[in-house]
Structure 1
């Protein structure tokens, strides 16, 4: 019994090298059913008993967080065999067995992997994001195998021949010299038909023990959400204080990395599934900030209401991270010459100039609307509205140069 137990115990989870060998020998298989594209995420989930949604979110986050998720998914497609295949597509390409993926399509995937990897590691919206995302995914898969490599192992298949039948009927040998007893002769002198022997008692069916119920660990999600909230708040605060690195894309990337680590931890502790509802929209926001680059806006939060009484009181820059900015320049004299710049990260920005002032203006917004002295633009990253407006009285009056810029919201320049 001891020898049988030792032979049935999975091995290969010793040092790093043995773990890699065991992973390759029992690597995930891409299922036929439940797949979304090629079954790579579903195969990993089936192999280690985790929720496939978590694996898909990890690949999607890695794709947004630098672009490496697509490259790793294609690698799994090439090196993970399908459910009923003998080997993976790459192994079949070298004639080591049968794969349902054609050789031509395998070559196409292998060729496409080169530009995908170059695009992922050639640069991204988060500096070093591709390398960090790849390291997190590979480390998570390694830890999954270390923690659950001996569970959910693929069944061992092999030739199972028919059980040998044993017969109790003896055939007399011709040289034995023993005479065959006549049929019906009973040495005990009893009627053979009168024997009433009990039938062999059948063995009771073996009932497998019930699988232990998996309990969700709610603390993983709560702790991860709290840490992500602290990281996001600290990043926003540092950005508002003037630390240039903590731009919106960087803050979103840091928050997504915390959520990703929480979901990987939750895969081991069976918790943190609710983090998906936060990670998906945040990933979309990160993609938007990548497509529409936002400049850095500083100055804090809240509203600014400025009404300078003279030209000397007009500041060269009015800047805010988020909130409404209202700048009223109607107190300027006709002989004043001023120039100012208004920058607002998010909110409504309004500048009011005198009715008879000569205004040179340049207004732009990344996402939102612009109405600059009757010239309108709207949408995502619209063209800058610029020009010179002399008012209804023609040349004369205060000379005002305005540059108004906003990340998101509405920009207005009106006359009193």
Structure 2
């Protein structure tokens, strides 16, 4: 059934996920199952997995599909193993982000994962009604022989006589044909054994703490444990939690790990996306407010690891010396986490370049770039609109915060 909303489409995608065929497959049947489900060429699916492998998520995605896609049963009456979809989904997310924390501190695995999710959504939205849904039973070699019931009886069909009725299962020798019309006796009920709860949650949490502790100790001994490498420790713990969720989905246990995995995933992703290298590299913390009285007092750079920077250039004399060159006044402002605010004279000629990883960049509130990765480059001649005096060249970069230039 097709749905138009995004959550409904992903829910339908899970409920009608492909099954892995037992034949016509190269590794585990993942690509062949997707191709059969959506009626496309399996070569295209295999090429897509190879392309995804270069982005860093191809192998993890194939392994996730291998685990979650049921295999076509050899026995038509066999039931697929029970798996909890929420635990599998949380486990897959945790493993993907955990591997990103271990091997890729830049957080670049997130964008390929989003791209893959969008492509899968579009594929299911357009071809959900194509191909078979669910595991496809393997047909026996001799269907007639598979459906024929075997009976052991002393009652034989004689030539020339009508066939004799088959004895019931409780009289295989056919010794009491007068009672064959009686109903079959029901077997005595057998009490179901009480399910044993496996300590998946406790064991996985302990293993995650142990693995992350050992990783942190090794990095501390080797001198590699810093702010920028902290996601590696979290990534190890998150990968262990994800593996526990995947295993627990088969054992119908470990659902208590889901909140831990989701919370740690958000923390790890936030640390991967945050400019930790810039925070640790830049000097100083706290607010920095500077108002130089002359051009000579303008420093070449102002930086903060975490904190706001306020630079006021209104007291600077921008007049060009007699028979002297109009030397630009240049400065660079950098902060890892915080806002940058620059105030310049109304008539000053300003060349401004501003970037922000997570924030907005604006110039006099007339020109503005919003959202992550904002960048704005502008050359403005001021209120008089005439190139005069010494120009001001500003390069401002904020990791997490806004960058703004004002005139007064």
TM-score normalised by structure 2 residue count: 0.49
Structure whose CA Rg is larger = 1
Relative contact order (alpha carbons < 8 A, sep ≥ 6): 1 or 2 greater?
A: 2
TM-score normalised by structure 1 residue count: 0.48
